[in-house]
Amino acid sequence: MFLYEKSATDLYNFHAEVQKPADFDEFWKQTKTLAQEKLEFSLEKTSFPLKARIYKVTLLGFADTKLYGYYLLPLDESKKYPLALFFHGYRGYASSPFAFSSYLLNGIAVLAFDLRGQVGLSGDSGYESGHVPGWMTQDLDNPFNCYYRRIIVDALRMVNLGLSLPDIDATKIMVQGASQGGGLALATAALCENVSLCIAAVPNMCYMEYGVLNSNSSLKEVMEYLKLYPDKALAFFNTLSYFDNLNLVEHIKCPVLVSVGLQDPVCLPKTVFAAYNRINSPKEIKVYPFSGHDGGGDLFSQKAMGFALSHLNP
């Protein structure tokens, strides 16, 4: 067995120590209730050089923040479609409808939002203290107001929006994303029983304490902040444990596809496998020994589409 083969084999047997807050279940009960409290959105049909029905969508997220995105449908109005809810990577945005044309071509509707406060149009406000550049350390000593809780409440409302749309088959809701988006897809699948499929490419939000100490991902912002305020370390790591997929993925019930690049310095292979190994539902991981944060690139994109088509049967 070559070294690159052995490294992957060892990771399948890796089990990270789990740190779960005593009020973890109550915290998520309250958070899911908050996400269910309202569903306010608007759709505006817009023209676009793509043979599809294209809508701009606005949704009220956490603390009534307006979130902006796209809702895309194939042209045929006579049927209901499976829905792919996409979450973009850190410092990204929902991109253009062109980015999702392969899903439309295969009979899958798409919902994609700019996540709050990042590069897109969606805003964010109401934090009580300063932070280092980026979004991860905003109120990170307060699990009820931190950035992670906000984007997860937003994500759960996005699922609720998908369930309410008349052109969507509510039994076929898929969540998909890469990096930050992959981590958010796993968390959403864990917290929402209406999610029927999950695709998480090189997911972040996994074994986050290890990521803070070793990766060059968004979690490095936590390290930068703690260099200045080391007395906040206990509170920060306690907050992160609420949102760590190590503590969430065991609640996933739907099939899951994950990718990992063994050369990835952003979402480290050990963190991805730490979460993957705790998933109890039907699962598959594609390991790319010579890939970094691209997580297999087009090879995984093809695999993901095949996985979606086989389960959603559009």
* Tens-digit pLDDT profile for residues 194-234: 999 999 999 999 999 999 999 888 889 999 999 999 999 99
Residue 130, pLDDT above cutoff 90? no
pLDDT band at 114 (very low <50, low <70, confident <90, very high): very high
Answer whether residue 203 is part of any domain: yes
Look at the chain and report how many structural domains it folds into: 1
Residue 284 has pLDDT above 90, yes or no: yes
Res 128 pLDDT > 80: no
Residue of 131, 293, 294, 301 marked catalytic: 293
State which residues form the domain around 260: 3-47+77-93+125-312
174 located within any domain: yes
Position 60 in a domain: no
| Residue 212 to residue 156: CA distance in whole angstroms | 26
If DSSP codes are grouped into helix, strand and coil, which group holds residue 10? helix
Residues 84-94 pLDDT 10s: 999 999 999 99
User: Mean of the pLDDT values across residues 245-250?
Assistant: 98
Residue 82 domain-assigned? Answer: yes
Residue 291 falls within a domain, yes or no? yes
Q: Is residue 251 part of a domain?
A: yes
With 70 as the cut, is the pLDDT of residue 1 above it? Answer: no
Q: Which of 29-38, 123-132, 150-159, 300-309 has the lowest mean pLDDT?
A: 123-132
User: Within a domain: residue 183?
Assistant: yes
Q: Average pLDDT of the chain?
A: 95
pLDDT at 4 over 80: no
Cα–Cα distance list, 87 to 58, 115, 125 (Å): 15, 8, 20
Q: Give the number of other Cβ atoms within 10 Å of residue 5's Cβ.
A: 11
User: Per the structure block, which two tokens stand in for 49?
Assistant: 């050089």
- Active-site residue, 264 included: yes
Answer whether residue 243 is part of any domain: yes
CATH number of residue 190's parent domain: 3.40.50.1820
Annotated active-site residue in 179, 218, 241, 291? 179
- Is pLDDT at 31 greater than 80 in this prediction? yes
- DSSP string of 178-217, one letter each residue: ETHHHHHHHHHHHH-TT--EEEEES--SSSHHHHHHH--S
Is 179 among the residues known to form the active site? yes
pLDDT band at 131 (very low <50, low <70, confident <90, very high): confident
In the predicted structure, residue 272 carries a pLDDT above the cut 80? yes
Which pTM was predicted? 0.96
85: tokens are 């809810």
